[in-house]
Structure 1
Amino acid sequence: MNNPIQPPSGLFLFDKPKGITSHDAVELLRRKLFIKKIGHTGTLDPMATGLLILLVGSATSVQASMQGAAKVYGGTILFGSETDTWDAEGKVTAEAPPPALDGKALEEAVKLFNGKIIQQVPPYSAIRLNGKHMYKLARQNVAMPEVKREVFVRWLSWAARPPALDFEIECSGGTYVRSIAHEMGRQLGSRAHLAALRRLSIGAFSVKDAVTASALAAMPAAEALALLRPVPGGAGA
């Protein structure tokens, strides 16, 4: 008896460009492969670039487990102004003189946001309150309670370029890097927002192995299918 042909499934490593949503990235791969059942392992904001793991076919079954994987980001915090979205996409809501970004004060601030921390979720986020996304409530100017969560952050490196701070961190799934920028600005007696962000890795997967949007657009569907990777541990196969 012949075994039925299994539909394509696996992980597709995509290097998301700035300016598109994670859902836009899913749609790009859907149109390329003519496969509707595609998801991803963790949202990247439109402003952010870097690794987005797209789950094809039965691989979508591991979405929840892979969302918790550790992630590495590189980015820039800009001091002197705060925005409503806590990143460069938002409207400036407050300004203050930027800190010196040198010496013990900066080291102490980094320590405060290193290890296990409690962070506030940005009002413009996909977290749901009473069944509604917070970003939708924020756009409607609906008053919301502060939502906080415990996350783990490890600073790998940082370098001051006043009024900016470049950094590379490793963090647990669900961490909002925007929150670190927002709260660090206030900790240093100023205001700040996330000016740039790039996701460098998710677990063992690196953006160095990811396909860019231009490369995906140029390749035939068969080549894109050949780039699907097996799900770690064989789950979702």
Structure 2
Amino acid sequence: MIHGVINVYKEKGFTSHDVVAKLRGITRQKKIGHTGTLDPDAEGVLPVCMGKATRLCDMLTDKDKTYEAVLLLGTETDTQDTSGVILAGKDTSHLTEETVRRAVLSFTGEYEQTPPMYSAVKVNGRKLYELAREGKVVERSARKVRIHEIRILAVDLPRVRMEIHCSKGTYIRTLCHDIGQSLGCGGCMEQLFRTRAGRFEIAESLRLSEIEKKRDDGTLMEAVVPVDEMFPDYRKIVADEKQEPLAYNGNTFPHRVSQETGGGLADGEKVRVYDREGNFIAVYEYRSAEDNFRVKKMFFDRNSK
């Protein structure tokens, strides 16, 4: 079984679930999960976790992301993108480039964003898109998101091409809608392209056809990022003879100063724990008050070696 993360280029027309299903066929293994949904009309970076790396899914979903998007002003739809039903169309001839630029950039920073009805957010145990397909609109609580940076790449009214670096949970469709509302003419998303998700960049992503070719060539593992390499900033701790069985069982184990590299450990510092043969086991956290390590996320047991 493959254990690690593959940087997949999700092509237009595929759902994120389609990508997972196709990868199951290519790799002939079932344990696969994606790290954040991309709409069928969107394309770009989609990290996919395989084997024991599926335990990383929630951690990778939390990472910042970067997108290129095209905002279409003057059009409002029920899905907040051009795939939906048009609800309103307004004139944009009065808009100036300066006014639009100012409105777009005003969304930089933290703001309250209400999730769209066509989204996977759950309300009372049901996904919003399920309710939307039934013609229902329910009240949604706004959530704080952060737009770290917006770069305006081109303005050709009524369209604006922009690059957005944002926090987890940000809906670019809703950002486009909200910008349109602030200008009084409405707006929706016309195109979406994810260029980065956490450490994964578009330049290193592979289409499904390329992954399949690597499988046939016997070079598939070249495309897999091992689980422990997802924590490059965590120090490496090699368990000794007494610590090793405790670590493999996810138990707390005592600190050994001789194992440290780069100085003393800070309280709450996370480390990568390996066995004496160099096999990665888990991420642990150092607790200074008890002078020991406590497990944060288990990845491998002895049967996984």
Tell me the TM-score normalised to structure 1 length: 0.92
Give the whole-Å Cα distance in 1 for the aligned partners of 2:117 and 2:151. Answer: 28
In the alignment, which residue of structure 1 is the partner of 2:12? 18
Give the whole-Å Cα distance in 1 for the aligned partners of 2:165 and 2:82. Answer: 21
In the alignment, which residue of structure 1 is the partner of 2:131? 137
SS for the counterpart of 2:224 is coil
- Residue 101 of structure 1 deviates from its aligned partner by 4.2
In the alignment, which residue of structure 2 is the partner of 1:4? none
Report if the CA contact (8 A) 1:12-1:54 is conserved.
Answer: yes
Matched, 1:68 2:68: no
Q: Which structure is larger by alpha-carbon Rg, 1 or 2?
A: 2
In the alignment, which residue of structure 2 is the partner of 1:173? 168
Report if the CA contact (8 A) 1:47-1:88 is conserved.
Answer: no
Counting only pairs closer than 5 Å after superposition, residues 74-223 of structure 1 correspond to structure 2 as 74-98=68-92, 100-103=95-98, 105-158=99-152, 159-220=154-215, 222-223=218-219
Q: Which amino acid aligns with 2:226?
A: P
Deviations 1:165-191 (A, max 9, x none): 000010001100000101111111101
Deviations 1:81-125 (A, max 9, x none): 11110012111111101252411x224312331111111101100
Report if the CA contact (8 A) 1:117-1:152 is conserved.
Answer: yes
Gaps of 5+ in 1: 1-6
- Residue 65 of structure 1 deviates from its aligned partner by 1.3
Aligned mate of 1:49, from 43, 61, 85: 43
Deviations 1:174-226 (A, max 9, x none): 10000010111111110111000000011221011010133234442543343
Q: Which amino acid aligns with 2:183?
A: L
- Residue 28 of structure 1 deviates from its aligned partner by 1.1
Give the whole-Å Cα distance in 2 for the aligned partners of 1:90 and 1:27. Answer: 26
Matched, 1:230 2:230: no
Measured at CA, do residues 78 and 26 of structure 1 come closer, stay the same or move farther in structure 2, by a change above 3 Å? same
Report if the CA contact (8 A) 2:211-2:220 is conserved.
Answer: yes
Q: Which amino acid aligns with 1:227?
A: A
Give the whole-Å Cα distance in 2 for the aligned partners of 1:216 and 1:171. Answer: 29
Measured at CA, do residues 71 and 42 of structure 1 come closer, stay the same or move farther in structure 2, by a change above 3 Å? same
Give the whole-Å Cα distance in 2 for the aligned partners of 1:126 and 1:217. Answer: 29
Moved over 4 A (4+): none
In the alignment of these two chains, the number of paired residues is 230
Report if the CA contact (8 A) 1:155-1:167 is conserved.
Answer: no
Give the whole-Å Cα distance in 2 for the aligned partners of 1:208 and 1:123. Answer: 32
Tell me the TM-score normalised to structure 2 length: 0.72
Report if the CA contact (8 A) 2:105-2:150 is conserved.
Answer: no
Gaps of 5+ in 2: 232-271, 273-282, 284-298, 301-305
Q: Compare 222-231 and 125-134 and name the one that shifted more.
A: 222-231
Report if the CA contact (8 A) 1:33-1:225 is conserved.
Answer: no
Give the whole-Å Cα distance in 2 for the aligned partners of 1:153 and 1:101. Answer: 23
Q: Compare 112-121 and 222-231 and name the one that shifted more.
A: 222-231
Q: Over aligned residue pairs, what C-alpha RMSD do you find?
A: 1.6
- Residue 141 of structure 1 deviates from its aligned partner by 1.2
Report if the CA contact (8 A) 1:101-1:163 is conserved.
Answer: no
